[in-house]
Amino acid sequence: MTMTVHQAEAVANRQALRDIPLFNDQRLKLGVFGSNCSGGIIMSEAPTDSRITWDQQLRVAQQADRMGMELIVPVARWKGFGGRTNFMGSALETFTWAAGLAQATEQISIFATTHLPAVHPIVAAKQAATIDQIAGGRFGMNMVMGWFKEEIEMFGRPQYDHTARYAYGQEWLDFAQHLWTAPGPFDFDGQFFTAFGAESEPKPILSPRPALICAGNSPTGMDFSARNVDVNLAVLDSLEGAREYKRKISALAADSYHRTLDVFTYGLVVCRETEKEAKQAVQGIIDQGDTEGADLVISGLGIESESYQGVIDAFRERFVLGWGGTVLVGTPEQVTEQLAELSEAGIGGIILGFHDYANELEDFDREVMPLLRKEGLRH
């Protein structure tokens, strides 16, 4: 098939995936996580100035952009978790959110988090290419297989078992990647999708596809990440666990699929002038924690997701504090030391949540970023 003029020009202007800031040479990549949802990553009634308004989304994203952070990642949520706070019950839809922030930022990679069972690959491929055009090649996708049964059932869809969800996800991604790369119409005949004369133009600026993240930490999830994505987002229980996890998934990617991927994690930052103040802030979050909501989340994860098996009980308080992620607490010097330990354990980056995103991100820029540069974690 002969390419049209616009197709030929688009091919000439495509960028290599590894050329975007997400893959720069910073020793520790940094980003923002969960600012688009009520509660962020904290399940608590502790007072905060964070609100799900567009003004605050712009303020956070543009601050992260000015700081030179590599990425901002939202949480895709169609339904809250109940409890006293109905955690994440108010959430901005992530593709629309990403398009708005892509226009308003300059260098940071903007991700949309995608529940694959909720968005058809033809629709998502077109959305991704459109936002990537707006972003000038800075768009990426965080891929979620759909573990929250009540949420998936809102769409009238069956909730597949864990293994089948990843089989569905693999076929979804295969279909989407063909849409991003095929020069003309094609037929697709799979277990989950059938299409005739499928096509999608324009292609993303990034070649051969947008940047991809996946947080699957079960054996099946690790295999999916090792085969497909650029960054695996890991839930960590210790520094030694981080080292072993990084070793295992890196070996899986190299040995089974002849490719490399990076490992990031996520976490809550509670940074104050003194250690006492930081610990008091943490205790305030715990004391007013939505334990009812946390129990609902943990129960659902235990039933519907294998990614957290074996660590759920130990993470009960950490779900209140930061969605089960790493918790960084202390003075700017102590937070810097904790980030350095993660880097030394082989973690390539961390996306951060805050109790008060807008104000505390500015504090982080003023108090912690200079120390990270001094320690050689950033330049």
The pLDDT tens digits of the residues spanning 166-182 come to 999 999 999 999 999 99
| Token pair 């987002």: residue | 233
Helix H or strand E segment including 71: strand 71-73
292 pLDDT above the threshold of 50? yes
Q: What's the average model confidence in pLDDT over 229-248?
A: 95
240 pLDDT above the threshold of 60? yes
13 pLDDT above the threshold of 70? no
What's the pLDDT at 304? 46
Residue positions counted in the chain: 379
- Report the mean per-residue pLDDT for the chain: 92
Q: Determine the Cα–Cα distance for residues 26 and 206; give it in Å rounded to an integer.
A: 21
What's the pLDDT at 24? 94
pLDDT digits (tens, 9 = 90+) for 304-316: 455 555 555 566 7
Angle at 139 between CA 2 and CA 179, to 5 degrees: 35
Task: Sort residue 194 into left (φ over 0), alpha (ψ -120 to 50) or beta.
Answer: beta
Tell me the pLDDT band of 18, cut-offs 50, 70 and 90: confident
Phi, psi (degrees; rounded to nearest 5) at 67:
-75, -10
Q: What's the average model confidence in pLDDT over 316-336?
A: 92
What's the pLDDT at 303? 43
Residue 363 and residue 371 in contact, taking contact as beta carbons nearer than 8 Å: no
pLDDT digits (tens, 9 = 90+) for 51-83: 999 999 999 999 999 999 999 999 999 999 888
What's the pLDDT at 313? 56
> pTM, whole model, 2 decimals?
0.93
Q: Determine the Cα–Cα distance for residues 26 and 375; give it in Å rounded to an integer.
A: 12
How far, CA to CA in Å, does 119 sit from each of 95, 122, 173, 207, 264? 11, 8, 12, 22, 25
Cα Rg of the chain, angstroms: 20
| Token pair 């972003």: residue | 135
Amino acid at 29: K
Q: What tokens appear for 107 in the block? A: 């260098």
What percent of the chain stands above pLDDT 90?
80
Amino acid at 364: F
Non-local CB neighbours of 143 within 8 Å, separated by 6+ positions: 114, 116, 169, 173, 212, 213, 214, 229
| CATH architecture assignment, domain 5-373 | Alpha-Beta Barrel (3.20)
**Weakest mean pLDDT among 2-11, 161-170, 187-196, 250-259:** 2-11
Tell me the pLDDT band of 2, cut-offs 50, 70 and 90: low
Which parts of the chain fold into alpha helices (H)? 5-13, 54-66, 94-104, 121-135, 149-153, 162-181, 219-228, 239-257, 275-287, 291-304, 316-322, 332-344, 357-367, 369-374
Nearest to 301 by CA among 314, 289, 290: 314
What's the pLDDT at 4? 60
Q: Determine the Cα–Cα distance for residues 293 and 81; give it in Å rounded to an integer.
A: 6
Q: What's the average model confidence in pLDDT over 256-261?
A: 97
Amino acid at 12: A
What's the pLDDT at 8? 54
User: Please, what sign has the CA dihedral across residues 273, 279, 280, 284?
Assistant: positive
What percent of the chain stands above pLDDT 70?
92
pLDDT digits (tens, 9 = 90+) for 86-97: 999 999 999 999
Q: Determine the Cα–Cα distance for residues 306 and 218; give it in Å rounded to an integer.
A: 6
pLDDT digits (tens, 9 = 90+) for 340-357: 999 999 999 999 999 999
233 pLDDT above the threshold of 60? yes
Q: What's the average model confidence in pLDDT over 102-109?
A: 97
What's the pLDDT at 148? 83
379 pLDDT above the threshold of 50? yes
Long-range residue pairs from 64-69, CB within 8 A, at least 24 positions apart, any chain? 64/31, 64/32, 64/108, 64/361, 65/105, 65/106, 65/107, 65/108, 66/365, 67/30, 67/361, 67/365, 67/369, 68/107, 68/378, 69/30, 69/31, 69/32, 69/108
User: Please, what sign has the CA dihedral across residues 226, 231, 236, 242?
Assistant: positive
